[in-house]
Amino acid sequence: MLSKIVREKAVEAIESVYGIRFTARDFQVNPTKPEFEGDYTIVLFSLVKQLNTSPDQLGNALGAKMIADDPVFFESFNIIKGFLNFTIKPAFLIDMLNRHYQDPCFGKAPMNGKKIMVEYSSPNTNKPLHLGHLRNNFLGRSIAEILKANGYDVLKTCIVNDRGIHICKSMIAWSRYGNQSTPTSTGTKGDHFVGDFYVKFNDAYKLEVEGLVAKGMDKATAEKEAPIMLEAQQMLFDWENGKPEVIELWKTMNLWVYEGFDTTYKRIGSDFAKTYYESETYLLGKDTIELGIRKGVFFRKEDGSVWIDLTAEGLDEKLVLRKDGTSVYITQDIGLAQKKYDEFGMDQSIYVIGDEQNYHMKVLQLICKKLGLPYADGIHHLSYGMVELPTGKMKSREGTVVDADDLVDEMISISRKHTQNLGKVNDFSEAELDELYNTIGLGALKYFLLRVDPKKKMIFNPEESIDFHGFTGPFVQYTHARIRSVLKKSIIDSGLKDYKLPLLKGEKDLLLLAEQYEVILKQAADGLDPSAIATYLFQLAQTFNSFYAALSINNAENEEKKQLRLKISSLVATIIASGMEMLGIKVPEKM
C-alpha cells in the first residue's frame, strides 16, 4: 500500500537528516485533500517539537531528502501550513493496476495464525427473528468476513436461548389455545406460529391482571397471581425437573422454531460453524464459581448466595449463585466462555450483542480477569445500537415488531417497483427478474443497516434504503453492473506494461482510491466496523461514475488509453464485488 511506503520512507529520511528514530505510529500519512496538489500527505505537527524546527523547515528538508533518495517513486512535493504533500509517479500506480485488475484477493492479507470466534444472532425460541436481529446478523457475518480478509481464522457461532420463562409462556398459550394445531396444519412458518402464541400469552395475561385488579387486588400482586403466569412458572419448574410431557412439548415447539429460523438464515445469508443451546449450557460455570470462592474472588453471604464485589472497579456487588445453588446468566456465560475456549482455543472471542448489555459484558470480562482465566483478555463486546422505525421502538410481547421475513418481502417488493419504474429490464427472463429483485432488495437492506457505525442507534427507512442514486446498496450494485456491461463489449489486453502516456485526473483519482482498499479493510477489522467498507465503496462508485461520464472507455483516444481505462474499470469492479461480499451483498452482472 502506498501510504505504508510513504510512511516508511519518511521514517528513514528523518533518521538520515536529524539522527532521530521515529516509528510509523508517530505521525500521520493520509490521502491528500482534494483542494491541495498531491497524492499523499505527511502531517508534520507531531514531529516539529521533538525535532526543534518549524513545519516549513522540516517539510523542505524531508521532501528534498525523500525525492533525492527515491526519484523513481516520488514526482514532486509541496508544503501547505504544516502538511507535506507528495505526488507519486504514475509508474507505481500502473504497476499496481497490472498486477491486480482481476485479482479477487486484492487488498486481503495472508493468514496470520490467529483464531477469532464471532458469536452473533442469539435468538429466543419464543418468537421469529425481527429487524433488530437483522442488524445483529448482518454485523456478525460481515465482521467475520472482514476478519477473514485480514488473515484471521474465523469461527462463526450462535447461542440459542431455548429455555426459561419466556419459552414456557408460548408453551402455555399453545396448550390453552392451540387446539393441537401445527405450523403445517395452519400453513404458518414455524417461528411465526410459536411467536403468535407468545403474543396470545401476553394478551391473556393482561386481561387476567385487569380482572384481578377489578376485584380489588393491587396491580403488583395481580401480576404475580394471574393464573396464566402461575401456569408458566409451574411449567418452568416441571421442565427443570424433566417432566416427560413438558419436555416433549418443549422439543416439538422448538423444532418448529428451528425450521423457521433455518429458512430465514438461508434467505439472509447467515451461517454458523457451531450452535450452542442454553438448555445445554445453563448449568455450566458452577465449578468455576467454586474455584473462585477458594481463590477469594467470590464470597458467600449468610443466606448461602455467592457474590463478587466490584465496587473498587466502579460497579457494584454482583450475584453469581443464588442461595439455592442455581446459577444466574453471568454464571452460565462464564461457563460457556470456558467451554468455547476448551473446544477451540481462540485468541479472541467477539460477542455481537446490543448496547443494552454493556454492563453485563463488562462484568463478564472483569470476573474472568479476576479468576485469571486464559481467555479473559480476548473477550470483546461488539456493542451496537438498536434499530428503530420512523414510528418508534418495537415490542415483541405486544406483537409490534417488524418480522425479518416480512421486512425482506417488503424490500423485494420495493425493489421490484423501483426497478420496473427504471424500465431497463425488458430483456430479462422471469427467473432473472426474481433473482434481480432479491439481490437488490436484500442488498439495500444489508447496506442500509451496515453503512452506519455499529455503536450508533439508527432509524430504518425501507424506501430511502433502495434509492438508486443515493448512499445505498443499489447505487453500488448498479455501478458494478455498469462496469460489467462495459467490459463485456471489449477484450482486455494483458499488456500495458510499458504505458507511457500521462494519467488524466479521473484515471489517477480512481487508481489512488483503489489503492486504498487494503487500508480500508484493515481499518474495518481494527474497528470492527463494516461501515468503513460501505462508505468506501460508495465513494469508489461515485468516483467511477464521474470518471465514466468524463472519459470514454470503448471509444478512447487511442488503444493504449482504452486498455488503461478497461483495466481501471476491471479493478474497480473487482473491489466492489470483494467489498460487497464482505457486507454479505451480491452484485449483479446486469440490472
User: Residues 297-309: what's their mean pLDDT?
Assistant: 95
Write out the DSSP string of 480-520: HHHHHHHHHTS---S--TT--SPPPHHHHHHHHHHHTHHHH
Question: Which phi and psi (to 5°) does residue 333 adopt?
Answer: -70, -35
What are the pLDDT digits (tens) for 468-507? 888 999 999 999 999 999 999 998 887 656 677 789 999 9
Closest CA relative to residue 272, chosen from 123, 171, 397, 400: 123
What are the pLDDT digits (tens) for 512-538? 999 999 999 999 999 999 999 999 999
Collapsing DSSP to helix, strand or coil, 118 comes out as strand
Q: How confident is the model at residue 453 (pLDDT cuts 50, 70, 90)?
A: very high
404-582: CATH topology: Isoleucyl-tRNA Synthetase; Domain 1 (1.10.730)
Collapsing DSSP to helix, strand or coil, 409 comes out as helix
User: Residues 59-73: what's their mean pLDDT?
Assistant: 93
With a pLDDT cut of 90, the percent of the chain lying above it is 82
What are the pLDDT digits (tens) for 327-342? 899 999 999 999 999 9
The answer to whether residue 278 scores a pLDDT higher than 90 is yes
Q: Give the pLDDT of residue 498.
A: 66
What are the pLDDT digits (tens) for 75-117? 999 999 899 999 999 988 998 999 999 999 999 999 999 999 9
Is 3.30.1360.70 the CATH classification of the domain at 2-88? Answer: yes
Q: Give the pLDDT of residue 398.
A: 46
What is the domain partition of the chain in residue ranges?
Answer: 2-88, 164-259, 286-326, 404-582
Q: Give the pLDDT of residue 167.
A: 95
Closest CA relative to residue 320, chosen from 290, 352, 354: 290
Are 465 and 447 contacting, i.e. CB atoms less than 8 angstroms apart? yes
Q: Give the pLDDT of residue 495.
A: 62
Indicate the residue type of 575. I
Burial class (CB in 10 A: 0-12, 13-18, 19+), 150: buried
Count the neighbouring beta carbons within 10 Å of the beta carbon of residue 444: 28
**In angstroms, rounded to a whole number, what is the distance separating the alpha carbons of residues 74 and 89?**
6
Q: Give the pLDDT of residue 423.
A: 75
Strand pairing of 40-43 and 83-88? antiparallel
**In angstroms, rounded to a whole number, what is the distance separating the alpha carbons of residues 444 and 425?**
18
Contacts of 535-538 with C-beta under 8 Å, sequence gap 24+, read: 535/451, 536/579, 537/476, 537/575, 537/576, 537/579, 537/580, 538/451, 538/471, 538/475, 538/476
CA angle 342, 348, 352 (to 5 degrees): 105
**In angstroms, rounded to a whole number, what is the distance separating the alpha carbons of residues 169 and 158?**
23
Instruction: Give the end-to-end CA distance of the chain in Å, rounded to a whole number.
Output: 33
User: Residues 561-577: what's their mean pLDDT?
Assistant: 96
Q: Which residue has the cell 524546527?
A: 53
What are the pLDDT digits (tens) for 217-258? 999 999 999 999 999 999 999 999 999 999 999 999 999 999
Q: Give the pLDDT of residue 425.
A: 79
Q: Give the pLDDT of residue 396.
A: 43
**In angstroms, rounded to a whole number, what is the distance separating the alpha carbons of residues 141 and 119?**
9
What are the pLDDT digits (tens) for 374-411? 999 999 999 999 888 776 544 444 445 788 999 999 99
The x, y and z cell numbers of residue 376, run together, are 479473559
Q: How far does Cα 376 stand from its chain's mean position? A: 23
The answer to whether residue 1 scores a pLDDT higher than 80 is no
Question: What dihedral do alpha carbons 146, 151, 155, 156 form, nearest 10°?
Answer: 10
